């Protein structure tokens, strides 16, 4: 990003540190030469150069982060961040904070309204009523799939049925809208 700079601080686990923490090493086979110009300590050189094993491979040792237990890894990372001066939490700028706060609050209100609607309206019964009023003779399914295959041999049978039913639902949208309105009126009437 033009004009943007950031200080990069290496928080990585170094070999000497891992050995000092008592983390176990593991053997691995290195198949490539070490990068040219790599600066290694004496102990890193011993572990990473390893012993020749064949023409272009070396048996070496390393320590992986998965040698830590989960709690120990969290403690390690937190101590590294603290040592680097990365203290406290970051709070966005005022404009970003207000915008994100508005979005979070809107999501919470929408979730509440959705929950209340599902409690106040018999959505399950309404969906069942719509299904019952629209349901075609499903024993015709094979014929619809074969008809779709005739038009497009590459279509899956599931997609063929989905398209057929999507068309059917679209054709009866007005009828279902009326059915839903009637269902809502019944639930709003006293004793309904």
Answer yes or no: do 190 and 143 share one domain. yes
Mean pLDDT of the region 45-65: 91
Strand partners, 27: 61
Task: Please give the Cα distance from 82 to 64 (Å, whole number).
Answer: 22
Supply φ then ψ for residue 114, to 5 degrees. -60, -45
Answer yes or no: do 42 and 67 share one domain. yes
Q: Per the domain annotation, does 159 fall within a domain?
A: yes
Q: Per the domain annotation, does 6 fall within a domain?
A: no
Mean pLDDT of the region 36-61: 91
Q: Per the domain annotation, does 10 fall within a domain?
A: no
Q: Per the domain annotation, does 24 fall within a domain?
A: yes
pLDDT at 11 over 90: no
User: Are the beta carbons of 48 and 60 closer than 8 angstroms?
Assistant: yes
Task: Please give the Cα distance from 129 to 113 (Å, whole number).
Answer: 23
pLDDT at 181: 87
Task: Please give the Cα distance from 21 to 142 (Å, whole number).
Answer: 67
pLDDT at 189 over 70: no
Q: Per the domain annotation, does 37 fall within a domain?
A: yes
Q: Per the domain annotation, does 132 fall within a domain?
A: yes
Choose one of 75, 98, 120: the last residue of a domain: 120
Interval 92-120: pLDDT, tens? 889 889 999 999 999 999 999 998 888 88
> In this structure, what token pair is assigned to residue 173?
């949208």
Q: Per the domain annotation, does 34 fall within a domain?
A: yes
Domain range holding 171? 122-192
Answer yes or no: do 55 and 69 share one domain. yes
pLDDT band at 1 (very low <50, low <70, confident <90, very high): confident
Total domain count, the chain: 3
Q: What rounded mean pLDDT belongs to the chain?
A: 89
Interval 120-159: pLDDT, tens? 887 888 888 889 988 899 999 999 999 999 999 999 999 9
């Amino acid at each position: 990003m033009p004009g943007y700079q950031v200080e990069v601080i290496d928080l990585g686990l170094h070999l000497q540190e891992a050995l000092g923490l008592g983390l176990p090493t593991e053997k691995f086979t290195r198949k490539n030469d070490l990068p040219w110009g790599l600066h290694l300590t004496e102990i890193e050189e011993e572990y990473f150069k390893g012993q020749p094993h064949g023409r272009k491979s070396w048996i070496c040792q390393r320590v992986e982060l998965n040698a830590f237990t989960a709690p120990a890894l969290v403690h390690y990372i937190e101590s590294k961040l603290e040592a680097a001066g990365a203290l406290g939490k970051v709070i966005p700028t005022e404009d970003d904070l207000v915008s994100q706060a508005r979005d979070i609050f809107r999501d919470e209100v929408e979730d509440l309204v959705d929950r209340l609607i599902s409690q106040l309206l018999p959505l399950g019964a309404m969906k069942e009523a719509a299904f019952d009023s629209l349901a075609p003779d499903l024993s015709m399914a094979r014929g619809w799939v074969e008809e779709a295959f005739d038009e497009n041999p590459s279509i899956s049978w599931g997609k063929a049925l989905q398209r057929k039913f999507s068309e059917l639902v679209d054709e009866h949208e007005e009828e279902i809208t009326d059915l839903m309105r009637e269902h809502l009126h019944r639930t709003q009437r006293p004793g309904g």
